[in-house]
Structure 1
Amino acid sequence: MLKNTITSRPSRNKKYSLLPVRLFLSFGLFGLGTLWAQDAAPPKQETVTQAETTPAKPVASEEKNTAPSTQTPAATPTSNSDAKDKDKEKDKAPAVPYKSPWKGKLDGELLGTLLLTPEHQDSIKKSPNLWITDNLRFGIQIRPRFENFNNQDFDKSTSDSKNYVTQNSQFWTLLDINESFAVKLTIQDTRLYGQYKDPSGTGYGPTSFTNSIGTAYAPGSQIPVKNNTDVREAYVIWKDFLPYTKMYLGRQVFSYGDSRIIGARNDSQIGNSFDGVRVAFDTKTWSTHAGYTVLAEESNGPNGFVTANSQKVSGASALNDTYLAFLYNTWKPSEELVVDLYEIGVIKKYNTTTASGPLVDPNLRTNGRDNLFTTGIRLSNRTASGRSLPAGKSWDWGVEYAAQTGSTGQTINASWDTLNTTIGSGANKHAAYKETVQHDASFFLAQTGYNYKGFRVGVQFARASGDPNRTDGKSATWDPLFATRSGGFPYFDSGNGIANAAFWANVRTSSIHLQYYDDTWGRFIFAIYDIRKDKVQDAWYDGNRNAVTGTTGYDANGNFVANKTVTGSTENAANNPFLKNWQPGHRLLLEYDLIYIKKINDYFSIWAGATVLYAGDAIKNQKQFNFDRNSTYFSLTLQFAI
């Protein structure tokens, strides 16, 4: 059999080489944080002091009419003392109702679904409005956005200009029940203006302005249908789960560090949400957050619960069971330094065959388990809330490095066997050596800036690794996971440009960031991004980490073909040194961003963004004669949040 004839070089299998190190790091850091917590002062809580009540003194007539007792103290009945105790209970003041410490000073984490400037967020935190009681608060966000794209593919032979309006609407409520429990619920609706269809399909119709129009399916059919209105958050906070420790249970939103690995992604109109449980251990100098969430479920449930993630139903491109587990540690030894250490795992179940028939084993595996582990460290002097500088500081800096390891689960012919050794004959002939493809990617970022009276000048360099050979035993293209795409505050430098033309995958980006803020004039941001490929053989990846691949203007023999649609960028997936007419290009894009944000009042702000992109030689060499260098993007957002 195959398993008896195939051998593998042990030194090539690195699947579990870092597992002991990860376990030691994770438990060691958690233990260290626990020891520090023993000396840390517990977080301050609001206390209510109530005055003691003094028992009422009997009147003089009652004292005179009371006959002296002739019994000894030992024989005194206990009924009199019981009556006095009951009177004392009646005289006690009623318990003071619980008042939420979040009233007038809302925790920023509770606003994790909103895209707000620091000034707008501060207004919402302090606002007493919509606190219906001392522990119940409502909130609303309405955010319509107009967007216009021109020439996204840098091809003058195509007409791809487009514009549209989307809207994000949220209604959220926070119920801080008592010292132990709180509940957060956020209902979110995201829609594209004009996306609905008249039921008859012949015109706009009198009902086309409602959202009750859909497609009629046969009774009993199990087809998951997208609903624009959904639950963005629904979780319980167990505030005294353990000393210094909270538990978050349910559908929730969270961000860590500069949101380059895990973020809320509120810059899009949809955003991220995670279904699961999270435990947060926090002291003044140390915090450890651990979480486990379900990203994809392949099994249908009873009573109409239908999943869209089963490969047997939705095909090979769908996900089977997929989970996210993470451990994120933060140490703040002083106001000058914060250190983050993290381990994040995305675990995907093995793939099963999607073929059908009487002779097909439904459990036949076409791919093994995909284990993607991201281990990283982040250092910065932005130690104040909202990852900003402490008061009085001017110079800010940050450095982050992460590596991705694990196995993709894909088995291929051993890439190290240059002789291509085979065994067997005829239909049974196959490679003698096999190997499992390993994740081997990395990410590095360094940034710094100087602040002076509302001005900030900053520079940044980021590298997200690419793969020089996508057919060998290593998968080296960085996976940005759940990162925020366009950027975040206070410096709007956590992304790779607002046009989302290229993101953290196979890029080396150098950028300059200029910002000016004034209470009267608003916030001005100007940024320049020089985006180059990390590996010229790898693809160009867009803002959703989809490879912008395509065809060249040549046939398989290297001959030019007229009137052939050319897409993508120059690439060489198998790193073939003899590939004909391959003209590798290094630069993908030059991007110029201008952003203006004006806070009109405590609840309303206007955002405008304009981008000009110039395609580099990686796109020019691919397009040849149909190349059009310029592309533009414009957006206008009206942000109402209270």
Structure 2
Amino acid sequence: MEGCVLFGVLFFGSQNLLFAQAAEPTVTNPTNQSGDKSNAGQSANKNDSEEGYVSALKEGGLSPDYNRTMFIDPELAKNFNNRKKAWVNDWIRVGAYIRPRWEDRYNLNFDKSNRADISRVMQTSQLFLIIDPSPYFSMKINIQDARVWGGGSTPASVGDVRADVFANTGTTVVPGQSQNIPSQTTIREAWFMVKKLPLGAKLQVGRMAMAYGDQRMIGSANWTINGLSYDGARLMFDQDHFNIHFLGSQIVGNQSGPNGVLSANAPITAKDPTTGKTVTLSPGQPNKYLVGTYNTIKPNDWFLVDLYALGMLTSKTPAFAGSTYSTPAVAATPDSDLTQNKWSKQQDNLITTGFRITNRTAKNNLPKDGPWGGWDWALEAAFQSGTTGAKVNKQLMGQDITQAVTVNGTTYNVSTIGTQNQKYAGKQITLQTGYTFFEKLRLGTQFMLASGDANRQDGSNGTFQTLTMPRFGVFPYWNNVAGLSENVGMKNLRSLTFNIEYKTEKFGTFYASYFINSKDKVQDAWYAINGSANTGFSTELNGVGQTTAVIGKQGRGIYNEIDIAWSYMINEYCSLWLGAGFLTAGNAVKNQRNALYTYNVQTGAISALNTNVVNGTQGAASQARMFYMQFNALF
């Protein structure tokens, strides 16, 4: 039934700042999104024959679909996209991208007893090849290496004379023994595109980077050292006044392949050395898919509307227990549905539907000589439904009413009024606006609400769930989630931002911004940018696995942040970015860190005085900071 509902939603939907994830992050120019506008091939080639073909990308510059894996500013992107020297001939282009970044991150947990100071240099490097030999076909292959300076991509082997030369090598490789050392060099992209299909469609298949709108839902996350890639396919209908995109990607694969091709999420089995039997040590992670449709309607230069329906679908997977030879992993019995959060029968289906309306109709910029002058605005809202895969007790006046029931020798605390499937009910709304004076000075503001949940034990999960994006921000507007520090995610968050951007002709662009980050629901957690809850870092009381809570007022404020930054074009191949963020903890953090007493939420027992807070060795250190310097070089 869920699958039918999802299909209906997707079908109906399809019919009817600093810093960038990519040079052109939004699908707002329907005629130039896949490297082949509806008329680009004809303008460069008077006919559709392959003989004498000159790529439209060489004539008109690279379009966003060929340039979504790099983290570059607009001026550098313009030079890169239109560089003729990089073309080997009329239909083969080579490229390279190198991005070293130094970061210093201090006390971002606001912890007086452990003011973690992380200072590191990271580097992302890419080599890629674009082949566009025909008006009917193109492809791209991108090899990427991501590393921390001094860490290397793989430690040296024991006995290797170079071993002592590697700084901070870590555990060395012992020949003949299995090592859990991830490869840092990988294929970031490897896809082909079939063009000029019926109805003007294009089909992209393989490993790709995708970005839509302001990338709140789907993007490439190029601010991170690795970035995101999606294994799947897209069917795209791009015309002058509308886009219709269907997409499908496998996020998690549960099975390994032949000839030693392994999935990191596959079940782990081993032979018991005592019995000789093969046992399951881990069931692995269930298959997960991202499917949906993202559509753009652009009637004119006044505004455009994005409509999307996206499903994050997780396969039915039984609960397992045990992970040793003596207690191997065993599938849960049907009786386990009598207890909370045991879902041998349930399925996790997160459905996100939403819209985005903006007047930024020229590749996420205001159109030149458009009707709005220097005023830009955007409104986005998303609503979530589906089931979490958890079965929870129905509650009476917010309380569980249970009794002990024994089934097949096992005793369960069963709800006397029944159980229910927990459902998603999150929502997100973002309003962003600004005005640019003299094409140099922009003053802007943004308000973002990502809902929280006051009671995560009931049948509704009201915390907004991010999809794949640990989102930072996109050009050309400073609309990052909540600051350069990347210290909060788009969950249980109210964020108000004020920002200034000033562009000079000779000295680069200067940015300043102020963020006020608060909880939507005080009972819910402060969430990291990766989506996980910072349990114990701020006051909360939600009942999910929580046994203790602090005695004191529930706080709403997470932290405030002031950011300053500067970007500068060194030459047409290279740019420099500098930035700093200064954070001050809010009352939700300080109340938790400075709590003198805690109590058990189940028994009501009060703990002893926290003497470590009294004597000053623990508590809140309310000031934190983040600095960074980054070079971007590409050809």
TM score, norm. by length of structure 2: 0.81
Equivalences for residues 364-379 of structure 1 within 5 A:
364=333, 366-367=342-343, 368-379=346-357
Q: In structure 2, do the counterparts of structure 1 residues 425 and 212 end up closer, same or farther at CA, with 3 Å as the change threshold?
A: closer
Equivalent position of 2:265 in the other structure: 309
**Counterpart check, 1:627 vs 2:620:** yes
**Counterpart check, 1:179 vs 2:156:** no
Q: How many residues align?
A: 556
Q: Distance in 2 between matches of 1:226 and 1:211?
A: 14
Counterpart amino acid of residue 612 in structure 1 = F
Equivalent position of 2:630 in the other structure: 637
Aligned residues of 1:224 and 1:308 also touching (Cα < 8 A): no
What SS does the corresponding residue of 2:65 show, helix, strand or coil? helix
Q: Which runs of 5+ in 1 are unaligned?
A: 1-13, 35-40, 51-93, 551-567
Q: In structure 2, do the counterparts of structure 1 residues 398 and 391 end up closer, same or farther at CA, with 3 Å as the change threshold?
A: same
Counterpart amino acid of residue 589 in structure 1 = Y
Q: Distance in 1 between matches of 2:7 and 2:187?
A: 39
CA drift at 1:202 = 11
Q: In structure 2, do the counterparts of structure 1 residues 268 and 20 end up closer, same or farther at CA, with 3 Å as the change threshold?
A: closer
RMSD: 3.1
Counterpart amino acid of residue 338 in structure 1 = L
Q: In structure 2, do the counterparts of structure 1 residues 140 and 420 end up closer, same or farther at CA, with 3 Å as the change threshold?
A: same
Equivalent position of 2:39 in the other structure: 43
Aligned residues of 1:337 and 1:381 also touching (Cα < 8 A): yes
Q: Distance in 2 between matches of 1:127 and 1:469?
A: 55
Aligned residues of 2:281 and 2:329 also touching (Cα < 8 A): no
Equivalences for residues 62-211 of structure 1 within 5 A:
96-104=51-59, 105-196=61-152, 197-200=155-158, 205=163, 208=166
**Counterpart check, 1:396 vs 2:381:** no
Q: In structure 2, do the counterparts of structure 1 residues 136 and 27 end up closer, same or farther at CA, with 3 Å as the change threshold?
A: closer
Equivalent position of 2:387 in the other structure: 407
**Counterpart check, 1:420 vs 2:420:** no
Aligned residues of 1:237 and 1:249 also touching (Cα < 8 A): yes
What SS does the corresponding residue of 2:146 show, helix, strand or coil? strand
Equivalent position of 1:336 in the other structure: 302
Equivalences for residues 317-466 of structure 1 within 5 A:
319-352=285-318, 353-355=320-322, 361-362=330-331, 364=333, 366-367=342-343, 368-385=346-363, 387-392=364-369, 393-416=373-396, 420=401, 422=403, 424=405, 427-428=410-411, 430-432=414-416, 433-453=418-438, 454-466=440-452
What SS does the corresponding residue of 2:57 show, helix, strand or coil? coil
Q: 2:460 aligns with which of 474, 479, 484?
A: 474
What SS does the corresponding residue of 1:26 show, helix, strand or coil? helix
Q: In structure 2, do the counterparts of structure 1 residues 18 and 600 end up closer, same or farther at CA, with 3 Å as the change threshold?
A: same
Q: Distance in 1 between matches of 2:73 and 2:44?
A: 33
Moved more, 17-26 or 465-474: 17-26
CA drift at 1:226 = 1.3
What SS does the corresponding residue of 2:588 show, helix, strand or coil? helix
Post-superposition CA distance 1:403-444 (Å, at most 9, x none): 111111111222358572547469555324111111110100
What SS does the corresponding residue of 2:163 show, helix, strand or coil? coil
* Higher CA-based Rg: 1
Q: In structure 2, do the counterparts of structure 1 residues 358 and 481 end up closer, same or farther at CA, with 3 Å as the change threshold?
A: closer
Aligned residues of 1:43 and 1:283 also touching (Cα < 8 A): no
Aligned residues of 1:324 and 1:345 also touching (Cα < 8 A): yes
Equivalent position of 1:73 in the other structure: none
Q: In structure 2, do the counterparts of structure 1 residues 106 and 95 end up closer, same or farther at CA, with 3 Å as the change threshold?
A: closer
Aligned residues of 2:10 and 2:292 also touching (Cα < 8 A): no
Post-superposition CA distance 1:324-364 (Å, at most 9, x none): 10100100011011100101111112333143679975475
Q: Distance in 2 between matches of 1:474 and 1:15?
A: 17
Q: In structure 2, do the counterparts of structure 1 residues 179 and 214 end up closer, same or farther at CA, with 3 Å as the change threshold?
A: farther
**Counterpart check, 1:574 vs 2:539:** no
Equivalences for residues 481-560 of structure 1 within 5 A:
481-483=467-469, 485-550=471-536
Q: Distance in 2 between matches of 1:574 and 1:358?
A: 30
Q: In structure 2, do the counterparts of structure 1 residues 351 and 601 end up closer, same or farther at CA, with 3 Å as the change threshold?
A: same
Q: Distance in 2 between matches of 1:244 and 1:95?
A: 18
**Counterpart check, 1:230 vs 2:186:** yes
CA drift at 1:274 = 0.2
What SS does the corresponding residue of 1:600 show, helix, strand or coil? strand
Higher relative contact order (CA 8 A, sep 6+): 2
Q: Distance in 2 between matches of 1:534 and 1:150?
A: 26
Counterpart amino acid of residue 375 in structure 2 = W
Aligned residues of 2:151 and 2:169 also touching (Cα < 8 A): no
CA drift at 1:616 = 0.5
Q: Which runs of 5+ in 2 are unaligned?
A: 17-29, 31-36, 270-279, 335-341, 595-612, 614-618
Q: Distance in 2 between matches of 1:21 and 1:416?
A: 35
Q: In structure 2, do the counterparts of structure 1 residues 421 and 362 end up closer, same or farther at CA, with 3 Å as the change threshold?
A: closer
What SS does the corresponding residue of 2:592 show, helix, strand or coil? helix
Equivalent position of 2:13 in the other structure: 26
What SS does the corresponding residue of 1:133 show, helix, strand or coil? coil
Aligned residues of 1:315 and 1:354 also touching (Cα < 8 A): no
Post-superposition CA distance 1:347-387 (Å, at most 9, x none): 112333143679975475742211011100110000002x1
CA drift at 1:543 = 1.6
Post-superposition CA distance 1:245-303 (Å, at most 9, x none): 11101000010010111011111111110001111101100111111111111112111
Q: Identity of paired residues, percent?
A: 30
Post-superposition CA distance 1:174-218 (Å, at most 9, x none): 010111111101000000112244544999735637999963375
Q: Distance in 2 between matches of 1:577 and 1:149?
A: 31
Aligned residues of 1:335 and 1:381 also touching (Cα < 8 A): yes
What SS does the corresponding residue of 2:395 show, helix, strand or coil? coil
What SS does the corresponding residue of 1:46 show, helix, strand or coil? helix
What SS does the corresponding residue of 1:120 show, helix, strand or coil? helix
**Counterpart check, 1:594 vs 2:564:** yes
Counterpart amino acid of residue 458 in structure 1 = G
**Counterpart check, 1:583 vs 2:514:** no
Q: Distance in 1 between matches of 2:64 and 2:51?
A: 27
Aligned residues of 2:255 and 2:267 also touching (Cα < 8 A): no
Aligned residues of 1:184 and 1:234 also touching (Cα < 8 A): yes
Q: Distance in 2 between matches of 1:240 and 1:160?
A: 55
Q: In structure 2, do the counterparts of structure 1 residues 206 and 312 end up closer, same or farther at CA, with 3 Å as the change threshold?
A: closer
Q: Distance in 1 between matches of 2:331 and 2:214?
A: 43
Q: Give the structure with the larger strand fraction.
A: 2
What SS does the corresponding residue of 2:79 show, helix, strand or coil? helix
